[in-house]
Structure 1
Amino acid sequence: MAGAYVLVALGIMAINITEVPGILMLIVKSALGLEEAAGGAAGSVTAAMLNGIKRGLFSNEAGMGSAPNIAATATPAPHHPSSQGLVQAFGVFVDTIIICTATAVMILLSGVLEPGSGVTGTQLTQEAMEAHLGDFGGYFIAVAILFFAFTSIVANYTYAENALYYLKGGNTLGVTVLRLAALGMVIWGGYEAVITVFNTADASMGLMAAINLVAIVLLSGTVVKLTRDYLAQRKQGAVPHFRSKDYPELHEKIDSDIWH
């Protein structure tokens, strides 16, 4: 679905190619708060950075510790932890730089954005697509959002259930409570205002990031060592391969058979 979304966005940008450079420049200026700062708006740069960080977390979950749940179930190729880490980093690029930028460009090209109108999110994107593609645009966004939302719900529920089992709470009662809570959040989100949902999500993700960033700092030395090993093997022309015995701090804590 993401591929189809990007293709549609590229088609719209190709049709309006002469306007795209100006739109991209406007995005950069607005993201950095340059126009507001030039106008003397107090706190404009800070506000721009704060909103950018919040929406960035929402789009790619970088630093939250959720995406590695998928990485943990993957078979890295080459067979080295850093190769999967690079894949996850590329996912951040795709989510934010490609998909989010494509959405912003389509909205700005459509001319439907009216500051202060209160129209945001999915509704704004649908209106933009309808301006470009007619009724088909609205239906396309509805279907895209359905797939994006469904896959996000399934993935995050899977993360939560795996964590529950790891914490020894994966009994019938624990799983049932988790499932009811997940369904309740979906229903609650459908009834609440968009701003309320976003604020709740921002607070929840901020809490996750605060906890996970501590783990990242503690593991940073090992990550640097792994990355240097990976790049050194690539520089030698070899296919990188992880050797757990080279990492005594990890050797007794991991399943060596997996990395054999």
Structure 2
Amino acid sequence: MDALAASLQTAADWITVHITMWVLIATGLFLTVITRGVQVRHLPDMVRQVGGSRSGAEGGISSFQVFAISLAARVGVGNVFGVAAALLMGGPGAVFWMWVVAGVGMATAFFEATLAQVFKVRASDGSFRGGPAFYMARGVGNRTLAAVFAAITVVTCGFVITSVQSNAIAGTLVAALGGGSESPLPGFGGLSAAQLVVAGLVLVLTAVVVFGGIRAVARVTEWMAPVMALVYIVLILIICLVNLDEFLRVIGRILSSAFAPEPLVGGLGGGVLAAVINGTKRGLFSNEAGQGTAPNAAATATVSHPVQQGFIQSLGVFIDTIVVCTATAFVILIAGPQTWTAEGAGPATLTTLAISHELGGWTVLPMAVLIFVLAYSSIIAAYVYSDVNMSYLTGGKRWASWAVRVVCVASATAGAVLALDVVWNAVDIAMAVMTLTNLIALLWLSRWGVGALRDYENQRARGVVEPVFHAHGNPYLPGDVPGDVWASAAFPSPVPTTED
């Protein structure tokens, strides 16, 4: 089993470094160019859109709730463990390259969400479903590619991501509670009391929300995702204010080491290539731009124009990487070598050690709880992604939705007590396949995304406060959008002019 795990890790690393990473960057750059830098030009609009996104859902799922679902998935343990790993292996310069890929990734996220909205369908319960599988089938016209993507997503999100996130929860909480497997309970297969308590906690909390369906996830993440991000940022902000004299020095070190070799610890981590690779990997896989996961949630929002959700999802990338990942990096760099070289310092512990070094040992347990919430939010968001794609594969059958819920709850519970080395290493390969198939669709349908953006911009230029989407006879689109979702009486669409 160890040999299999090692082989999978080698394959995953090769695919990531030699294929996925560069295709993601190239796609993001291309989409940035053809939209004339949508993520820069419309950043103020993105912020305003989030501010007014809690209303207008007409009984459906609001734009803000969907933003919270995708934020819950993006802001996970990767922002804590992954950033620490990037710094250890790539040095401070890795942070700069996180910023770079987040910048181009915002354009990719905009296209994903916009296309998910354009080609969404209405589910039997009146809500919406959409995402890469739907725009591959309805936009590209390739049902085989759509089915492949949907099947991989169902398994990856419904089984793999849920189990590995709960595995992270278990490792952190069991360590904080001081009850490892070295003190197993008789008759429980070598599991300790702490492991069983954590598994039971994961079971109950996951079942309560997931069995309520996507609407229940939306209601929970609407407050949980912003609160957990805010609490984490406040902790980091306190540390930065206490060490204000170090703040500019850290920024200078990040910028200088992005282009010049500078290891973080002894001979570990550093060099331009290491900074580029590790910063790029962490930036890309933390914010999920291009992976095809977030648009599954984006499509469920009730909005008057697809571009509105595109703006909101693009801002999610900014918050995840530029705000949260940067905050993690700052506290680690401020903590200094005495923390980096401390006994037990590693990707899973370095952030907690850095915070406790600056604020005191009392923060260890709160950080364990925060990591629990980060991972838990990713579990319930992964259920949404899995459910949407199962809906595509089965035509929205009710039994299929319940099957996904049961599998997600079961895999999350099992992940809390099982060793998952093989699963951990397999997830990168599965995500690479998802990402590459999604990027093919994004490039194929790029004219639709650009057309939707031009339609939105034209209406705003004519003084329309809340632009509405006209899916048929729209001169900015390559053709008519299939179906009648956008013909809803709730959003009567004026025929746009042919002026730019």
TM-score bracket for this pair, using the shorter chain length = 0.7 to 0.9
The one-letter code sitting in structure 2 at the alignment partner of 1:238 is V
Q: Does 1:101 align with 2:326?
A: yes
1:13-92 pair list within 5 angstroms: 13-30=240-257, 32-35=258-261, 44-76=271-303, 79-92=304-317
Corresponding position of 2:485: 255
The one-letter code sitting in structure 2 at the alignment partner of 1:20 is F
CA gap of 1:176–1:90, structure 2 versus 1, over 3 A, is closer
Please give the alpha-carbon distance, in whole angstroms, between the structure 2 residues aligned to 1:207 and 1:118: 34
Corresponding position of 2:444: 218
User: 1:157-212 CA deviation, whole Å, 9 max, x = no partner?
Assistant: 22112211210186469548843773377247x6356xx77644433322221111
CA gap of 1:96–1:142, structure 2 versus 1, over 3 A, is same
SS at match of 2:340: coil
Deviation at 1:15, TM superposition (A): 1.2
Corresponding position of 1:227: 453
Higher mean alpha-carbon deviation, 164-173 vs 106-115, is at 164-173
Q: Does 1:158 align with 2:384?
A: yes
TM-score by length of 2: 0.45
Please give the alpha-carbon distance, in whole angstroms, between the structure 2 residues aligned to 1:126 and 1:28: 25
Corresponding position of 1:7: 234
Question: Please, which of 332, 335, 343 is the counterpart of residue 110 of structure 1?
Answer: 335
The answer to whether the 8 Å contact 1:64/1:209 transfers is yes
SS at match of 1:244: coil
SS at match of 2:441: helix
CA gap of 1:34–1:230, structure 2 versus 1, over 3 A, is farther
Please give the alpha-carbon distance, in whole angstroms, between the structure 1 residues aligned to 2:339 and 2:437: 37
Please give the alpha-carbon distance, in whole angstroms, between the structure 1 residues aligned to 2:431 and 2:344: 24
Question: Please, which of 381, 398, 419 is the counterpart of residue 191 of structure 1?
Answer: 419
Deviation at 1:73, TM superposition (A): 1.5
Corresponding position of 2:374: 148
CA gap of 1:252–1:44, structure 2 versus 1, over 3 A, is same
Aligned residue pairs total 249
Structure 1: give runs of 5+ residues left out of the alignment.
37-42
Corresponding position of 1:39: none
Corresponding position of 1:207: 433
The answer to whether the 8 Å contact 1:6/1:99 transfers is yes
Please give the alpha-carbon distance, in whole angstroms, between the structure 2 residues aligned to 1:91 and 1:208: 20
Deviation at 1:139, TM superposition (A): 1.9
Higher mean alpha-carbon deviation, 172-181 vs 218-227, is at 172-181
Please give the alpha-carbon distance, in whole angstroms, between the structure 2 residues aligned to 1:176 and 1:11: 39
CA gap of 1:97–1:53, structure 2 versus 1, over 3 A, is same
Deviation at 1:59, TM superposition (A): 1.6
The root-mean-square deviation of aligned C-alpha atoms, in Å, is 3.0
User: 1:110-138 CA deviation, whole Å, 9 max, x = no partner?
Assistant: 12443697733331111111111112321
CA gap of 1:185–1:92, structure 2 versus 1, over 3 A, is farther
The answer to whether the 8 Å contact 1:125/1:141 transfers is no
Deviation at 1:81, TM superposition (A): 0.7
The answer to whether the 8 Å contact 2:383/2:404 transfers is no
CA gap of 1:143–1:248, structure 2 versus 1, over 3 A, is same
Please give the alpha-carbon distance, in whole angstroms, between the structure 2 residues aligned to 1:44 and 1:191: 34
The answer to whether the 8 Å contact 2:345/2:353 transfers is no
Structure 2: give runs of 5+ residues left out of the alignment.
1-227, 263-269, 493-500
The one-letter code sitting in structure 2 at the alignment partner of 1:191 is A
The answer to whether the 8 Å contact 2:448/2:478 transfers is no
Corresponding position of 2:498: none
Deviation at 1:254, TM superposition (A): 4.8
Q: Larger relative contact order (C-alpha < 8 A, sep ≥ 6)?
A: 2
CA gap of 1:233–1:107, structure 2 versus 1, over 3 A, is same
Q: Does 1:130 align with 2:356?
A: yes
The answer to whether the 8 Å contact 1:69/1:159 transfers is yes
CA gap of 1:113–1:205, structure 2 versus 1, over 3 A, is farther
The answer to whether the 8 Å contact 1:126/1:141 transfers is yes
User: 1:230-252 CA deviation, whole Å, 9 max, x = no partner?
Assistant: 12222333222211121472433
CA gap of 1:104–1:197, structure 2 versus 1, over 3 A, is farther
Please give the alpha-carbon distance, in whole angstroms, between the structure 1 residues aligned to 2:283 and 2:307: 23
Question: Please, which of 340, 345, 349 is the counterpart of residue 119 of structure 1?
Answer: 345
